């Protein structure tokens, strides 16, 4: 279980989004947990000339990890148009380790995931390096993308076909190939709906997909909720398309 953001930016990366994510790492509520916080590591991946580049990653809690600050500064120095995905983790499947820390990279693809997929997940061509369900989803997605080079179609096929028999309370995916950012939201257990949120903020110089902001913090721009079963696709030109896939 996790919290994450994905940003497509035309020029300056909005570092305030990472400031907010860092605070949520310490204060964000988790279903069925008394203690707040997503404390089991963090990761930031951006794209340089269309290829994924690790900005920073750690198994320490983001809100008390000194290495988060230089990573945030590095992200702030990035020039657009580009895409960045950041994730703070509350481990539910797989040990707390670097190999299990999101976002995951496979070739040109980057994936971050909120949720726990249980039961049967089909085997992919590649074997994951870690032992999370999330990385196994990326391996399946990579197989589809290798065949089609269609990111939207690959994510749609993953959730409609590969995961049609899988069990999960909710699932949020953020995926990018460097030219497009895709977000997907599905909730299967209504009393957890408050946790499995995904929102879109459209602004003049960037579009952000996010789950939660700290108490008392507002996101500017035009903000809307991603509906259950909806896929959102954002291009480097900040164009936004939305479609129901489940």
Q: Set out the domains of the chain in order of their start, with CATH numbers.
A: 2-244 (3.60.20.10)
Q: How deeply is 211 buried, as exposed, middle or buried, from its count of CB atoms within 10 A (0-12, 13-18, 19+)?
A: buried
The whole-angstrom separation of Cα 132 and Cα 93 is 6
- Angle of helix 16-27 relative to helix 68-76, nearest 10 degrees, comes to 150
pTM: 0.97
* Dihedral sign of CA atoms 239, 17, 108, 40 in order: negative
Q: For the segment 102-126, what is each residue's pLDDT rounded down to a tens digit? A: 999 999 999 999 999 987 789 999 9
Query: If you average pLDDT over residues 81-100, what whole number do you get?
Result: 94
Q: How deeply is 66 buried, as exposed, middle or buried, from its count of CB atoms within 10 A (0-12, 13-18, 19+)?
A: exposed
> In whole angstroms, how far apart are CA 62 and each of 19, 49, 127, 241?
10, 27, 28, 32
* Percentage of the chain exceeding pLDDT 70: 100
């Amino acid at each position: 279980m996790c919290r994450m953001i994905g940003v497509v930016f035309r020029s300056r990366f909005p570092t305030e989004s990472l400031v907010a994510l860092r605070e949520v790492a310490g204060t964000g509520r988790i279903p069925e947990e008394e203690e707040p916080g997503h404390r089991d590591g963090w990761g930031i991946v951006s794209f340089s000339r269309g290829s994924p580049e690790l900005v920073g990653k750690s198994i320490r809690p983001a809100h008390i990890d000194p290495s988060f600050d230089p990573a945030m500064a590095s992200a702030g120095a990035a020039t657009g148009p580009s895409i960045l995905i950041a994730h703070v983790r509350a481990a539910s499947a797989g040990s707390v380790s670097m190999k299990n820390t999101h976002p995951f990279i496979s070739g040109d693809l980057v994936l971050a995931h909120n949720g726990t997929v249980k039961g049967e997940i089909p085997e992919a061509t590649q074997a994951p390096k870690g032992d999370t369900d999330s990385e196994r989803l990326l391996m399946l997605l990579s197989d589809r993308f290798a065949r089609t080079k269609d990111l939207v179609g690959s994510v749609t096929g993953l959730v409609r076909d590969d995961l049609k028999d899988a069990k999960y309370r909710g699932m949020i995916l953020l995926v990018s190939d460097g030219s497009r950012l895709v977000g997907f939201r599905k909730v299967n257990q209504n009393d957890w709906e408050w946790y499995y949120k995904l929102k879109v903020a459209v602004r003049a110089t960037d579009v952000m997909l996010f789950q939660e902001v700290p108490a008392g913090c507002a996101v500017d721009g035009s903000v809307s909720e991603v509906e259950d079963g909806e896929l959102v696709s954002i291009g480097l030109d900040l164009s936004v398309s939305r479609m129901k896939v489940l």
